[in-house]
A and B are shown apart, each in its own frame.
Chain A
Amino acid sequence: MAEVLRREVVYLITAIVTILMFIEFFFIGTWNVAEELRTWATIIANISIALGAVRLLAEHAKNVQRRRAGVWPFSIWLWIIFLVTLLSGLAGYVIKQDAMTNPLYNWLFTWPYTSLGQTLYAITGFYIFSAAYRAFRARNIDAALLLIAGCFVILTNAPIGGVIWSGIPVIGRWFLDYGQVPGMRCFLIVAAFGMLAYGFRALLGRERGFYGEVAGE
C-alpha cells in the first residue's frame, strides 16, 4: 500500500510540475513560480551529485576490501585522487572563498584531467574510421548509396578533394546542405512527437515503465 501511495505521489508531483512548466512557457506573468521550481531542480541535482560520489566511493571501497583482481589498485588510486581533489578544492574555498584559487586544484583540473579527456576525444577519430568502414561496405543498394555519398562528403572536407576534381566539394556540399537536412529534420519532428506523447502519458501517470513495470502486464 505504502509503495503504491509513494508512486502515486511521484506521478502527482510530476503532473503538477509539468502543468506549471507548460503554463510558464506559453502564458505571460507566470515566470516566478516556474523559476522557483527550476532552482529547486538545480539544488536537487547537486545533492544527487553528492549521492553519486558517495556511491562511487562505496563501490571502490568494496573493490579494495574484496581485493578484486585487476581492479583494486585502481580503486585505491581513485580514492587518493578523489580526496586530494576534494581537499584542495575545499582548502581554496576556506582560504579565499573560491576553490579555483588553489593552485593544486587548478593544476589537477587543467593538466591531468583536461589533457586525458582531450586525448580520449581525439581517439574518437579512429573509432569513427572503423565504424565508417563497417557502414560503408557495399552490401546492398542502400549501403552502396551511403558509400558514394560518404566518399563525396569525406573528400569535400579533405583539401585533396577539390584538387582531384573541383566538382567534388560542390557535390559534397549539396549532400551536407540539402541531401541530409530533410532526413534529419524528419527525425527531429518525429522525435518531438514521440517526446510529446511520452510527456502526456507521464502527465497522466500512465507511463510507468521507469518503475520496472512493463506497461499493460
Chain B
Amino acid sequence: MVGKREEEDMAIIVSGRGMALVILVLSYILFYIFMYLGRKGREIPVRTLPPMAAIPEGIGRAAEMGRPVMFTPGIAGDLNDPTQGPQVLAAISILGYIARECARTGVKLDVFMPIPTALPLTEETLRTAYMAEGKPEEFSPDMIHFIAGQSPYLTAVLGYFQRERPATNFLIGGFYYESVVMGEGGNTIGAFQIGGTANTHQMPFLVATCDYVLLAEELYAAGASISKDPDILGCLRGEDIMKFILIALMIIGFILGFARNPALINVLRW
C-alpha cells in the first residue's frame, strides 16, 4: 500500500492545481473545436458590442470638430504582469483598429503610453495601421507620449485635455485610480468617451464617466465584434460553454453544501 508521503513524492502535478489544469485543458479543447468549426463555416452568432460600434462615431465626431482623439491603456501593470498585461495587449489590439480609423479619416491620434515595455509594440501597431491604410507618411513616433509614474502620467493627461481639448477619449486597458480622474477630466471638456477594463475595482468609475464601456471579457472579445473573425467567435462560444459548466458546478456545490457533503470541494482542491 502506498503511503501518503510516497504518494506526494510520486506526484507530478503541484498540489491544489490539478483541477485548474483540467479546466484549462477542457477550455482549450473547446476553444479549438469551435475555432475549427468557425473556420469550416459554421455560423456563430455574436451580438454587436455597442462600444466597438461607437468607435467610428467617436472618430467621426473628432473629424467634424477638427480636434484630436486620445487613447490611453492605464498604468495598472506592466506587460509581464499576469492580470494587467493581457488587458494592455487587448487594449493595443483595439488601438490598432482606432489607428486605422483615424488614418482613414485623417484625424490626429495621441497615445499616452505609461508602460515602457509596451512602447515598441505600440509604435509597431500604429506604424502597421497607418501603412495598412496607405498613409505611412502620416505616422510619427511623436504620436506616442511616454510618461513614467502614475501621478506624472495623470497630470500630463489632464494638462493635455485642457490644452488640446480632444473630441474623443479612449480609456481602454488596465486602470487604477487614474480611471476616475481621467474620466471626469474628459467629461469637463465635453469629450465623447469610450472606456474598457477587466479590473473590477475600476469598472464603476468607467461606467459613471464614459459614454460606452467594454466590461471584463468584452475587452478581450472586442475584435470579434469588428471583424466576425472565426477564431475569436469560436473562442467566445467555448467560453460560453465553460460558463455553463461553471454554473452547473455552482448549483451542485450549493446543493452539496446544504447536505454538508465535501465531495465537490475535495475534487476542486485536488
What is A's interface to B at a CB cutoff of 8 Å? 22, 25-29, 38, 41-42, 44-45, 48-49, 51-53, 55-56, 59, 62, 70-71, 116-117, 120-121, 123-124, 127-128, 130-132, 134-135, 184, 187-191, 193-202, 204, 206-207, 209-217
Q: A190-B243, A207-B93 are in contact. Are A212 and B129 (CB under 8 A)?
A: yes
Q: Which of A55, A127, A128 has the most CB of B within 10 A?
A: A127
Decide if A123 touches B181 in the complex (CB within 8 Å). yes
Q: Which residues of A contact B231 (CB under 8 A)?
A: 201, 204, 206-207, 215
Contacting pair A26 B180 (CB below 8 A): no
Q: Is B151 an interface residue (CB 8 A)?
A: yes
A-B interface, 6 closest residue pairs, ranked by CB to CB distance from nearest: A209-B93, A194-B217, A212-B128, A216-B227, A216-B229, A52-B116
CB contacts (< 8 Å) of B207 on chain A: these are 135
Bound together, the chains give a CA A21 to CA B79 distance in angstroms of 15
Closest Cβ of chain B to A122, distance in Å, is 11
Collect the chain B residues with CB atoms within 8 Å of residue A207's CB: 89, 93, 223, 231
Shortest distance from the beta carbon of B180 to any chain A beta carbon, whole Å: 5
Q: Which residues of B contact A (CB under 8 A)?
A: 11-14, 17, 20-21, 24, 27-28, 31-32, 35, 78-80, 83, 86, 89-90, 92-97, 99-100, 116-117, 119-121, 124-129, 131-132, 141-142, 144-151, 154-155, 163, 177, 180-181, 183-185, 187, 198, 200, 203-205, 207-209, 215-221, 223-224, 226-232, 235-236, 238-239, 242-243, 246
Judging by beta carbons under 8 Å apart, are A188 and B208 in contact?
no
Give the distance in Å from the alpha carbon of A186 to the alpha carbon of B205 in the complex: 18
B72 CB to closest chain A CB (Å) equals 15
Q: What's the nearest-Cβ distance from chain A to residue B10, in Å?
A: 10
Residues on the B chain within 8 Å of A120, using CB: 151, 154-155, 181
A127 touches B180 (CB 8 A): yes
Asked if B220 and A194 sit within 8 Å, CB to CB, the answer is: yes
Listed residue (A22, A123, A207) with the most chain B CB atoms within 10 angstroms of its CB:
A207
Nearest CB of chain B from residue A37's CB, rounded to whole Å: 10
Set of chain B residues within 8 Å of A130, measured between Cβ atoms: 184, 187
Q: List 7 A-B contacts (CB under 8 A).
A: A62-B142, A120-B151, A191-B198, A191-B220, A194-B219, A211-B128, A215-B229
CB–CB B180/A128 < 8 A: yes
| Least distance between A98 CB and chain B CB atoms (Å) | 22
**Contact B116–A197 (Cβ < 8 Å):** no
Contact B217 A191 (CB under 8 A): yes
| Contact present for A135 and B208 (CB under 8 Å) | yes
A49 CA / B148 CA spacing, docked (Å): 8
The answer for the CA separation of A53 and B114 in the assembled complex, in Å, is: 11
B242 to chain A, nearest CB (A): 6
User: Within 8 Å CB of B20, what residues of A?
Assistant: 26
* B209-A200 in contact (CB<8A): no
Q: How far is the CA of A46 from the CA of B20 in the complex (A)?
A: 32
> Taking CB as reference atom, which chain A residue is nearest B124?
A211
B216 touches A191 (CB 8 A): yes
CB nearest to B78 among chain A residues: A45
Docked-complex contact B13 and A212, CB < 8 angstroms: no
- Assess whether B220 is in contact with A212, with CB atoms less than 8 Å apart: no
Contact A209 B86 (CB under 8 A): no
Chain B residue with Cβ nearest A45: B117
